[in-house]
Structures are given as structure tokens and as C-alpha cells.
Chains A and B, each alone.
Chain A
Amino acid sequence: MYVAVKGGERAIENAHALLADARRGERAVPEISLQQIDNQLALGVDRVMCEGSLYDRELAALAIKQARGDMIEAIFLLRAYRTTLPRFGASEPIETGAMDIRRRISATFKDLPGGQVLGPTFDYTHRLLDHTLAQESDVASAATAPVDDTPYRSVADLLGDNGLIERAAPQEGQGADVGDLTREPLSFPAGRDLRLQNLARGDEGFLLSLAYSTQRGYGRNHPFAGEIRFGEVEVEFFAEEVGFAVPLGTVFMTECQMVNQFTGGDTTAPCFTRGYGLAFGQSERKALAMALVDRALRARELGEETDAPAQDEEFVLSHSDNVQATGFVEHLKLPHYVDFQAELGLLRKLRAEFFERNGESETPMQDAAE
């Protein structure tokens, strides 16, 4: 039960002014700009866009600044903002095969058409603090090399040529009946389209832990990172009044194709199965975790046991959203005085009954807070 609590307006007003003061910090220190956040904390911006489910670098940078670097608060701000805008419609499906590649690696094939490019990665760094960054640094421009125009063929394609991996189901319902959990509440069992939408905006930490649990044996599915690619893709939107799919510009995305252990049997030849991850920006850990959890959630479809947490669709999809989660957990901070009084009354009654049964009497004491 919620009962309005009045009073405290002045305190709240002053607390918010104090928050603004703390956010700005020491005035002698230059204020951080959105461009600085966008450029130099780019992966934080990527994460906020991804889980805020809104691709807009400037707004994500603003949210990070306003939230003092609290990522979930920033994600919350972005989610709240999106509800203020009308939706023009949905894009044409993005063709990640046509991505302008900035990074593409495979843990399954060392030689593949187009090759492997590491791009800007933390991989193979020693994870030692670089004290030169404590001062302003003079960074040399990156090395260049002649470009090989061989297309970056996807690993799923290569394996698919030989029937070694499952292929996409025949494409049904082009656009018309794509599930959208921002319009319809999630119900179970959910289609893979809805599951992927849920995971795409799901909390990276939650998905990472679930993904890890599958590797440790809770729903093991023998994954290989078949391919991870990151780069720029063009977005198109079919505008009625224009009459064709209009290019909107480009966005950065990370894609993970997980190659997992086999399916097949009496009617189909054995082949690898797949898990899929797709995330805004350079969000590699997120894309990997998403692909692992996507594959785990396909357990029932693939006739596997479904006894692990990561395979429990209702559990995973109901708890992946950090805005919902933080809303419910953090609401505990709000006044619950009336609820608590009711609980207190019940407890007193139980105690009185207990002492009566045992022939004792409790010394009545007035609570300090009452």
C-alpha cells in the first residue's frame, strides 16, 4: 500500500541543488563537455545507448554527465527521454554483411576470406596501468597499411556452404509481425525475435553472469566465437512519401556469431547450432554474452534439457532489464511508513500470543520512532 507522504519540499529542493553542486565538483577543475565524453569515454556512451535502447551519442553523453557517471541512472534517463518522441516506424533490417569493418576476428578459423583485423581492442594488452595517461598525452596517429578489398565473408556463411551449420529459418513475416516488447508486454513462451530484443537492451552484467554460468556447466552448450565483427552499417527507412528506402546515415554495431554444439538426428544431418548477439556501438562483451544467452534460451527448441538458470526463459527475460530492476530495488528507499506500521502491529500481536502461550509477559516498551 502506498500512502502519500507530504512535507520535505524544501529538503528535496536543497538536496537537488546539492546534487548539482556535487555533479559539477571542484569549480577550479574544468567542466567536462559532451564531446569529451563522446570521444574519450566512447565505450561508456556505447553501453548507455545499447541498454538505453536509443542510438544517439550526444544524448547518451548528456545522460552520463547528468548521472555523474552512474551508468544505470544514465540508461534510465535515456529510456525516459525516448518515451517523449513519436516513432516514425521501423528500419529495413540492417545488413551486417555489408558492414564497413573496423574489427573482425574469428576464434574458429585462422584463415578466412577478408582475414582478421584486430581494430581498436583491449585484447592482448597487458592490463597494466599506463601512468603516462595521468598527464595529457601526445598520441601519435595510428599506423596505416594498404587495404585488401576481399570481402569479409562471415564464418556462418563459410560453414553453411558445406551444410555444417544450421541456416536461418525461411524468412517469414517480413517486417509486419516483428515482436516489439516496447509496445506489447512480454508473454511466455516468447519468440526468438522478442528474446533477442530483450537481450539487446538487457543489462550487460546480468547477461555476462548468465553467459558465464553456461560456460561453467549450468546449461553447457560448447561455444566457439565463430566471428565477432564491429564497424559501421548503413540504416535505411522506407518512407511512404518518398517511395523508397531512404538512407538515414550510419551507426556502429557489434555482432557476434557463436558456433555451438550440434543438432540433427533422424531427419536432418548433424550440424553446428548458432547463438546470435547484436549491440549498438563497440560492445563486444555484451554481444558475446547475448549470443551465449540466446543459444541457452534455444534449449527447448533444440530438444535439450532446460534445467539451468540461463535456459529459463521467464527467469532470464523477466530480470534482464536494469531499468525495471533498479526501479523495483531502489523503490525500497522511498517512505514505507504505513506498510511498516502494519507489519509492526502484526509482529506485536504474534509476540503477545507467544508470551501468553509460554505464561510470560513482555514488558511493554514504546518504540523510540513512534
Chain B
Amino acid sequence: MTMATAPTSGETVSRRAAMAVLAQAPAADIEHGLDRVGTFAFNELRPTETGLVMLRGRIGSDGAPFNVGEASVTRAAVQLETGEIGFSYVLGRDAKKARLAALCDALWQSQPHRTAIEQYVLAPLRDAQQRQQALKRAQTAATRVDFFTLVRGEDD
């Protein structure tokens, strides 16, 4: 990530972290959490749309960027009746998920709703994701090897 695009303020860092959790969550799980927060009226600012993002790597992992290949991405933009605008860009083609994620982003920016979004939507998703990640890491750790070299023959 370049310095120009990295979120710097604390607010943006937290919002970005919320987006990261939503991007990785199944639509049904986001919806389940939102149901506990309430029902909200919102407008779609533009039609939810699936498109492509060209994924870039770096030459040698640390050099200039190059194009590796594209990924499907779905984006949504919604506005609450109270004015807050929420966005989402999520991998895949799930329009419902994109809309739910954008709604969560809008609610997260609305002071009266942020706590509830954190508590009922993001916290359970974060828990599930962290549990899954911990399991994968523990399974990976079990395959750690310690190669050792054997000295064969004798030096003069």
C-alpha cells in the first residue's frame, strides 16, 4: 500500500477494518447480525454492480507493480434517510452481500448505530474469522519441519 492511499486517521482505520471484516463474511451472516440491529430504510445511490478489478503484484515482491489477472468485484453505494453514505467493494458477484456491506458501512458512520453495528454485526463476524484463521494457522504450524543436514564421510 502506498502512503497516499493508506488511511491515516483513527476513524478511517477503524472504518477500513470494519470493511475488511464485512468483505470476508458470507451475506447470510451479515444479514443475521443486521437483523438484531434493526430495520433501516435506505436508497441505492447507484445500481449495485459487478465488475472487475485488475489485481497487481510487485516484480520480485518488492519491485514495480505488474498485472497478475483480474478478480470479480461487486460494489454498492447506499444512503440512509439520515444522510450517511455507505460504500462497499467486495470480491465476488454477490449483490446482496455488497448491499448489506454498504448498509453496514453507512450505519457504522452514523453515531447512534455504530455501537450496535460493532456489537451485533462486526464482533460475531470477527470472532468467527479469527477462530477460522487460528485453526488454519495451527494446522499449518503442525507441518513445520526442522531439516537437518547429516555429515557423511570424513574430512582428512
Contacts and interface: CB of A to CB of B under 8 A. Distances in A.
Genuine A/B complex: yes
Interface of A: 49-50, 53-56, 58-59, 82, 85-97, 100-103, 110, 115-119, 142-148, 154, 156, 167-169, 171-175, 178-182, 192-194, 196-197, 200-201, 234-239, 241-242, 244-251, 253, 255, 257, 274, 276, 278-280
The 6 A-B pairs at the shortest CB distance, nearest first, are namely A168-B63, A144-B138, A55-B71, A249-B91, A193-B66, A247-B20
B23 interface: yes
A119 B140 contact: yes
B89 A55 contact: no
Given A86-B51, A245-B7, A248-B23, 20 more contacts: A54-B52, A56-B93, A58-B93, A94-B55, A94-B56, A96-B61, A144-B135, A156-B61, A156-B62, A178-B67, A192-B59, A192-B66, A193-B59, A200-B69, A235-B55, A236-B5, A249-B91, A251-B91, A255-B61, A280-B68
A296 to B, nearest CB: 15
A345 B89 CA distance: 61
Interface residues of B, number: 62
Contacts of A171: 63-64
Contacts of A87: 51-54, 70
B43 interface: no
A235 B72 CA distance: 12
A236 B19 CA distance: 11
B57 A280 contact: no
Interface string B47-85: 001111111111111111111111111010100000000
Contact of B19 (A56, A172, A200, A247): A247
A104 B3 CA distance: 28
Given A87-B70, A93-B57, A241 B77 contact: yes
Nearest to A154: B61
A88 to B, nearest CB: 5
Given A117-B140, A244-B7, A248-B90, A92 B54 contact: no
A100 B140 CA distance: 10
Interface string B92-133: 110000000000000000000000000000000000000001
A54 B52 CA distance: 9
Chain B facing A: main interface SS = mixed
A251 B57 CA distance: 12
B132 to A, nearest CB: 11
Contacts of A242: 87, 89
Contacts of B151: none
Contact of B54 (A58, A89, A280): A89
15 contacts: A88-B89, A95-B1, A118-B144, A147-B134, A154-B61, A168-B59, A168-B64, A171-B64, A235-B55, A241-B87, A246-B89, A247-B23, A248-B23, A250-B24, A255-B61
Interface centre among B60, B89, B139 (most CB of A within 10 A): B60
A110 B64 CA distance: 29
Nearest to B145: A116
A249 B61 contact: no
A82 to B, nearest CB: 6
Nearest to A157: B62
A117 B20 CA distance: 27
A56 B91 CA distance: 8
A110 B150 CA distance: 12
A122 B141 CA distance: 17
A142 B139 contact: yes
B39 interface: no
B147 interface: yes
A298 to B, nearest CB: 11
B41 interface: no
A276 B92 contact: no
Contacts of B5: 92, 236, 238, 244-245
A90 B54 contact: yes
A345 B53 CA distance: 53
B53 to A, nearest CB: 5
Contact of A55 (B50, B55, B58, B136): B55
A101 B138 CA distance: 11
A313 B60 CA distance: 19
A54 B59 contact: no
Contacts of B59: 168, 192-193, 196, 276
B18 to A, nearest CB: 10
Contacts of B144: 115-118, 145, 148
A100 B71 contact: no
